[in-house]
């Protein structure tokens, strides 16, 4: 989310200021300061010389992603006020599977075996070393790794685009 200082002619009520958001600075570059907010862990970019703590305005480029950005701003504002708005772009089951795929890829990078990954994902009670060779969890773990690799190779960011009906 791209933020700038509120231009003086757009300031609202007297005495209003930015939300009191705990921010963690990640890095500075030529664009601005990249940060993460605590509620929801939203990625923020303070453009140019914008400083945290002052009145802020969100910049929404009017492109194909404008609708998604607007929804992200609404989720961010609701998270600040502890009114969580679930991210409805993906069903819960698909979000859970994507999380498992990413955990599999992280484990692969750490050189964990598929058995170790399956045990971490599904629990030691369900994943048995004795039955591992013919286990449904073995095949499921293999599919998660395979699909995770495909997701990373392709445009996985498209998953976050809202699905809209075309009329």
Pick the more confident residue, 138 or 71. Answer: 138
Structural domains counted in the chain: 2
Cβ proximity of 132 and 138 under 8 Å: yes
Pick the more confident residue, 137 or 154. Answer: 137
Which two structure tokens, joined as six digits, stand for 79?
Answer: 């998270």
Q: Which domain holds residue 137?
A: 92-160
On whether residue 153 sits in a domain, the answer given is yes
Among 80, 109, 134, the domain boundary falls at 80
My answer on whether 6 and 76 are in the same domain is yes
Which two structure tokens, joined as six digits, stand for 120?
Answer: 């971490």
Cβ proximity of 114 and 138 under 8 Å: yes
Backbone angles phi, psi at 116, to 5 degrees: -65, -40
Whole-prediction pTM value? Answer: 0.52
- pLDDT for residue 117: 93
* Cross-strand pairs, 23: 37
**Residue 144: pLDDT above 90?**
yes
Residues 6+ apart with CB under 8 A from 17: 53, 54, 55
Among 59, 80, 101, the domain boundary falls at 80
Q: Please, which pLDDT band fits residue 166 given cuts at 50, 70 and 90?
A: very low
């Amino acid at each position: 989310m791209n933020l700038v200082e509120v231009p003086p002619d757009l300031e609202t009520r007297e005495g209003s200021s930015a939300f009191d958001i705990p921010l963690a600075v990640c890095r500075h570059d030529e664009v601005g300061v990249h940060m993460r907010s605590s509620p929801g862990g939203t990625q923020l970019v303070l453009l140019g010389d914008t400083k945290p703590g002052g009145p802020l305005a969100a910049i929404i480029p009017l492109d194909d992603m404008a609708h998604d950005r607007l929804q992200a701003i609404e989720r961010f504002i609701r998270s600040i006020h502890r009114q969580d708005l679930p991210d409805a772009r993906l069903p819960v089951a698909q979000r859970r599977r994507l999380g498992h795929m990413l955990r599999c890829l992280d484990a692969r990078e750490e050189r964990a075996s598929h058995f170790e990954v399956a045990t971490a994902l599904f629990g030691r009670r369900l994943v048995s070393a004795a039955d591992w060779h013919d286990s449904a969890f073995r095949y499921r773990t293999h599919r998660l790794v395979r699909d995770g690799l495909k997701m990373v190779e392709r445009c996985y960011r498209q998953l976050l685009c809202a699905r809209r009906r075309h009329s």
